[in-house]
Structure 1
Amino acid sequence: MGKVTDSTELLPDLARSLGHLLWRCAAKVGQSVSDTLPEGVDLHGYSVLLALSDGAPRSQQSLAETTSVSRTTMTRVAGDLAAEGLVTRVRNPGDRRSYALSRTEAGVRAAEEWRAHVERTEAALTPSFTATRRDRLRSLLLRIAEPDLAPDTPEPLRTSTGFLITRVHQRAHREFGEMLEPVGLEPRFLGSLIALTALGPASQAELARVLGMTGASMVPIVDLMESRGLVERRSLDGDRRTYVLHLTRRARAALAKARHLAVGGGAPCLQVLTDDERDELIALLVQLITAV
């Protein structure tokens, strides 16, 4: 995921795209975590400590599934927690190639201390929401995420706006990416193509601004789109040092096919919602992005 800015601008055409909205919201979750969690508080580590709250040892693989992170991330998190004395890590009796983790007394205290910081991060995501609208957003996201969640996913994660947005975005991104393969597009290209359709020829900086991305993050995406014949860089009349991006015929044809695929809600995971519920989710995600 490219780095984003704190822009609250949202093109009308992109405000109707659930894929783009989920991407912007997932990026905002990451930014909120970075801005509000103090040094030494790790969100994944907090999730592991929650999952170990019943006192039973758990394998790293089981914890990865419960907290919805990769095994690579779990190896790093488990090592950090063990180094800080928040968990004990021993060879798993059932599989000597893996480790089983248990929470220490220090881990119990840390989970309680970190809770306030995590709750503050959650609140920072939806400052303009009423309690009713915040609960409704979580409810819709949980409906989509539920099939991917482990049965023993801790309740604080199941009611976490940030956790649910991240999970839904990951699944929708994966599924929509698979749908776009025959068209020759990637999800990260789609927002740019939709934006250029709405804006007309635009500079790279302008495109980054309306997508809420940093200029540096926009460069490799534009380079890839150009290499695949989706956009052309052309000199601006009267200023050969300035380039604007133009959509190619290939891009317009691919975008038309992609829009057709998106009819009915796009990614399969979103089909659990009715049309009215998808419209409601779109409105809530737009509020999350555009709230100052």
Structure 2
Amino acid sequence: MPWRSRRRPVFEEQWGCSGRCVLAMVRDALRREMGDRTSATTSALHHHRVPLGLLLLSQGWITHPQLRRALEAQRQNGTGRIGEWLIAECGLEAEQITRGLSLQWSCPVLSVEGFSPEAMALVMPEIFVERFGLMPLRIAGGRILYVAFEDHLDASASLAIERMTGLKVESGILNEVQFRAAQSRLLECDRVEVKIEAVSDADTLAGRITAILEQKQPVASRLVRLHHYYWLRLWLENGAVGKPGKFPFSGEDMGDYVFTVGAQG
């Protein structure tokens, strides 16, 4: 029987005995991802947070007149974060804003110590780094991946990275200047090749992913959703499956696909 010699593709630790079998597994994964309520938007998550200006005021780091001045400058210009205006209009240090953000989000302030842009560039597609203001920094203890955010945490993004890499993700805030400098270095590095596609609906997406798996025949693959993006990662040869978890140590023999569905494309 033809299926007896078939050992690929492997999708989320399951072997696909036939194209129909692979399609069923992909549809199950899409139902799981599309029904995942953990990916609430950042703005929705932010509603219960104490506004940064009020938090800084409560800490005694700014005065009422300073806060009013910054808010007025922000209103008149129609752009910019309140922290930026407190620095520009009131002379606050960037470090004070970073400390305030860490209090606002109940998370640590991270540093770039131990940052390896060549290794971290392999963690995720460039589009996520640019669109969601996040950046992988380092792996600690072989099992913990530290991910830095510029001005807010994104639990959905952290969960997606955790599920894709098999590593526990710890999130924190990084100083804006350090964040920008590290991001620039990261984006200059080689990474896993990525293809970005838009599809019309979920059925089309399931068929497209199945076709990719059947064509590429990966030894491992996984699908996760990061907000409105669907991220498919392929490990094409046994040597590409790194340790710890499924963290890649090279972009060779790997592939990333990022999909959007319908109007979200």
Q: Normalising by structure 1, what TM-score?
A: 0.25
Whose strand fraction is larger, Structure 1's or Structure 2's?
A: 2
Whose helix fraction is larger, Structure 1's or Structure 2's?
A: 1
Q: Normalising by structure 2, what TM-score?
A: 0.26
**Structure having greater relative contact order (Cα 8 Å, sep ≥ 6):** 1
